Amino acid sequence: MRSINLTLAIVSLFISSTAFARDVNKSSNEATLAAQNEALSANTKDKGFGPQSPRDLSSKSGTNKRIFSAAPAYQNLNLCNIHMHKNAEHKGGEFTEFAGYGDGHGYESGYKYSGKLSPAESKPLDAEICKSNHGGLSVGDTIEVHYVHSSAQVKPGPTLGACLNDSISNPQLRVEAQVYVLVNDPNALDFEELSKTGEIDGYQQALNMPKNMGTPIGYAGSTTGPSYNEKGSPLQVSWNVYPKVLKVNAASVGKWCAGNTFKEDHAHGVRNIVVDPNLLSEIK
């Protein structure tokens, strides 16, 4: 009996210590997020930065005074880059489940698909895909894909540098943001098809970008990514963020990461949701 009680005490102590460590880690990461938000506000104050991204799409308020003209519809611009982020950078629509406070560098944070997958769709692949130093992607992961467009005469290529050329130093930029969830289903959408490019009416385009993602929420913002967690992004971007989430074949995402026009081989980290109203535009 004494042996059993000792075993139970050890198990109880282990559970308690694990829970304590988890709570401490959460508290630390929560504090990091708060500190980064404060640093962003301090580092941009009175410097004339325009509205920033990403944001909670359910909130339409914003007091940033920098106004710029909305970029034309994407059909009248050139697609210049496609890249993805692990978890949705924006919060809204069908991606409202908080992914966590993360590591302070854009990973394990953001928002996830708030729906459910079937057991068959959730079956793990044999290995992670799109691996990087921060880990890879797995079945069930959410990705936010940015189809970046530019008014410059450019062709699809690596990084946002592909959106600029020597003839136009300040092109109009537009991002069509689509959110997908990875499933183990060969009949789900093929990501290589979703990212296929070509020319339509003289403009470079993503030929198979979904048209059934709901009415997009448009707003004035900036570029994103974890490098801007504590500093302002100088670029002016017109955003369309679509509210629905489509299921994409996880294996096809892995094939895309193995080789594509954009030289993208992993999912990028996410920028913190911008909460300072002075750094947000009003959504009309």
pLDDT in tens, 48-73: 999 999 999 999 999 999 999 999 99
Is the pLDDT assigned to residue 13 strictly greater than 50?
Answer: no
- 249 assigned to some structural domain: yes
- 10 assigned to some structural domain: no
- 9 assigned to some structural domain: no
Q: Quick one: tokens of 119? A: 């057991």
Q: What distance lies between CA 152 and its chain's CA centroid? A: 24
> Considering only CA atoms, which of 64, 71, 69 is closest in space to residue 50?
64
Q: How many domains does the chain have?
A: 1
In whole angstroms, give the CA distance from residue 278 to residue 265: 35
Domain that holds residue 170: 38-279
Which region, left, alpha or beta, applies to residue 214 given φ > 0 means left and ψ of -120 to 50 means alpha?
Answer: left
Residue 149, φ and ψ in degrees, nearest 5: -125, 150
Range scoring the smallest mean pLDDT among 9-18, 125-134, 252-261: 9-18
Q: What distance lies between CA 201 and its chain's CA centroid? A: 29
Q: Quick one: tokens of 198? A: 């070509």
- 154 assigned to some structural domain: yes
Q: Which residues contact 3 (CB under 8 A, 6 or more apart)?
A: none
Q: How many residues does the chain have?
A: 284
Establish how many alpha carbons lie within 13 A of residue 218's alpha carbon, considering only the half-sphere containing its beta carbon. 10
Mean pLDDT of the chain: 91
- 14 assigned to some structural domain: no
Q: Residue 145: its pLDDT value, please?
A: 98
Range scoring the smallest mean pLDDT among 168-172, 213-217, 242-246: 168-172
- 113 assigned to some structural domain: yes
Is the pLDDT assigned to residue 159 strictly greater than 80?
Answer: yes
Q: Residue 24: its pLDDT value, please?
A: 44
- 16 assigned to some structural domain: no
- 6 assigned to some structural domain: no
| Pairing mode of beta strands 237-249, 217-221 | antiparallel
For residues 179 and 113, the answer to whether their CB atoms sit within 8 Å is yes
Give the model's confidence band at 3: pLDDT under 50 very low, under 70 low, under 90 confident, else very high: low
Q: Residue 4: its pLDDT value, please?
A: 58
Give the model's confidence band at 15: pLDDT under 50 very low, under 70 low, under 90 confident, else very high: very low
In whole angstroms, give the CA distance from residue 180 to residue 83: 13
Helices (H) and strands (E) in the chain, counts: 3, 9
Measured CA to CA in angstroms, residue 231 lies from 49, 91, 279 at distances of: 10, 20, 11
Alpha helices in 79-225 (DSSP H): 191-194
Is the pLDDT assigned to residue 6 strictly greater than 80?
Answer: no
In whole angstroms, give the CA distance from residue 222 to residue 52: 5
